Chains A and B, each alone.
Chain A
Amino acid sequence: MNDLQPRKDLLDIESLTLEEIEYVLENAVPFKQLFQRSVKKVPTLRGKTVLNLFYEPSTRTSSSFEVAANRMSADVTNFTISASSVVKGESLLDTIETLQAMRSDYIVIRHQAAGVPGIVAKHTRASVINAGDGYHAHPTQALLDSMTFREVFPDYAGKRVAIVGDILHSRVARSTSTLFNKQGVELAVMGPGSLVPAGRHDFMTRLSSWEEVFDWKPDAVYLLRVQLERQEGQFFPSIGEYHRMYGMNAERLDKMRQLGAYLMHPGPVNRGVEITDEAMRYEKSLISTQVENGIAVRMAVLHWLKPQTEKK
């Protein structure tokens, strides 16, 4: 039937095969259809525990995982650990021991340090889902981005997506571009020179301005939030200048309209920086679809992963 092997953890997009990606994206569709029922729950994960461990604040991602887990009838526990109360590194191993003792089946973890979900996954039986680690990866975001794009473009191979903004600090840019590239979607990046790293993947063509972006005729433009809280040092002169040079303003929105290009954004948005109120209301904005698909994709991921069982 399928050559798919079960997997315990979802840590990044790099390690996924196309078969696995297809499997999750196809299964996400029936989950999405459940949202139209009045009973949005299924009993699949009844009796299972999902632990949301968020070392970085995020209402959007944590609530998306919480809703997904609830709709699978799992028991959900949320821990938000603020950076100040954690001694870097030292608490991680102790926390892992505590997590093991709690016998969660699934651990959703978001952390400011790259590689932490992988360490947790190595030391616990639970299925670990990376909800974002430093600049490294955000695999469920990439999956929901792909699901959203494919709803609009069922023949997605060869289509074009331009990612605009702070690539250097963006785990979304890394994961989503890796996934799109695996699927044959063409990618370009545009943003301040100080935020588009030379070490990026070869498949990310560099465009230098909005003019070049529109000349490239993207099927979708993917805006990134300016990661102010992650920047160490000054990368551009001011928010005002960023908005003038790189923001989706009214004029650029008109060009989008003329091209028929779609607008995507992982959220949350910084109004007045990379995006405007008007752009949020753009008729071809996929932003709220992304949110909805996020729940479906996360349900499909919870359905797919297989925690290690305890040996009796």
Chain B
Amino acid sequence: MSEQPDITTEEILSPDGIEEAVIDLAKKVGAVCSGSEFAFVGIFTRGVTLARRVAEVLQQDGMECPVGTLDISLYRDDFDNRGADLPRLESSDIPFALDGMRVILFDEVIFTGRTIRAALDGLMDYGRPSKIELAVLIDRGHREIPIQPDYVGETLETTLNQYVKVRFREDDDKEGVFLVTEK
């Protein structure tokens, strides 16, 4: 309650804006993937929602995109620094064979790249895809690892005292992308 004056929140994408970005992503992904065998894998939690939304758009165009889910908690590199955090693990579900498959990983934001690094390790413990690509809704920069997305909804310039809040109605009580700045 007391700290509110030091935090400002700015809406970057409205619900409509998100929808546009999703359709845009679907177009880019669809263009590259049509005709070959591919699957989506969403990173818990909102990467899964993003993957499903994109799959839905492509489905309307007649493309079938199986969607798997991946929990990367067990692959993170910051296990020692979890402090009092006690994460609930989700059941990863990859209901298709990965060997020889072209996989698009989905996450709602890419930042340092460590989450994606963990996701790559996790994914490859399930099998050997022929190609892995990355799709994100927001790229906020500040990479600490040489990992770059192949498909981006929006690129945002951010500073380190800011963070990006993506809210989807399936997971949260509102919808939108917000930039939160702490003074």
Contacts and interface: CB of A to CB of B under 8 A. Distances in A.
Direct contact between A and B judged by beta carbons closer than 8 A: yes
B125 A37 contact: yes
B32 to A, nearest CB: 28
Contacts of B84: 5-6
B91 A33 contact: yes
B125 A44 contact: no
A8 interface: no
A44 B75 contact: yes
Contacts of A2: 86, 88
A39 B82 CA distance: 25
A5 B84 CA distance: 6
A27 B126 contact: no
Interface residues of A, number: 24
Interface in B83-133: 83-84, 86, 88-92, 121-122, 125-127
A21 to B, nearest CB: 13
Nearest to A105: B80
Given A39-B125, A39-B126, A44 B79 contact: yes
Contacts of A45: 79
A45 B125 CA distance: 16
Contacts of B145: none
B139 interface: no
A262 interface: no
A4 B88 CA distance: 11
Interface string A284-312: 00000000000000001001101001000
B126 A42 contact: no
Majority secondary structure of chain B interface residues (helix, strand, loop or mixed): loop
Majority secondary structure of chain A interface residues (helix, strand, loop or mixed): loop
The listed residue with most A CB atoms (<10 A of its CB), out of B89, B91, B122, B125, is B89
Contacts of B71: 30
A27 B76 CA distance: 16
Nearest to B77: A43
Contacts of B86: 2, 4, 6, 23, 304
A303 B92 contact: no
A85 B111 CA distance: 56
A304 B126 CA distance: 24
A26 interface: yes
Contacts of B92: 30, 33
Contacts of A29: 89, 91
B63 interface: no
B125 A27 contact: no
A180 B18 CA distance: 47
B89 A27 contact: yes
Nearest to B126: A37
A217 interface: no
Interface in B43-66: none
A41 B91 contact: no
Nearest to A32: B91
Interface string A34-48: 000111011111000
A271 to B, nearest CB: 36
A246 interface: no
Nearest to A42: B74
25 contacts: A2-B88, A6-B84, A6-B86, A23-B86, A26-B88, A27-B88, A27-B89, A29-B91, A30-B74, A30-B89, A30-B91, A33-B91, A37-B125, A37-B126, A39-B125, A42-B74, A42-B75, A42-B122, A42-B125, A43-B121, A44-B75, A300-B89, A303-B74, A304-B86, A309-B80
Given A23-B88, A309-B80, 11 more contacts: A5-B84, A6-B83, A23-B86, A29-B91, A30-B71, A30-B74, A33-B92, A43-B74, A43-B121, A44-B74, A303-B89
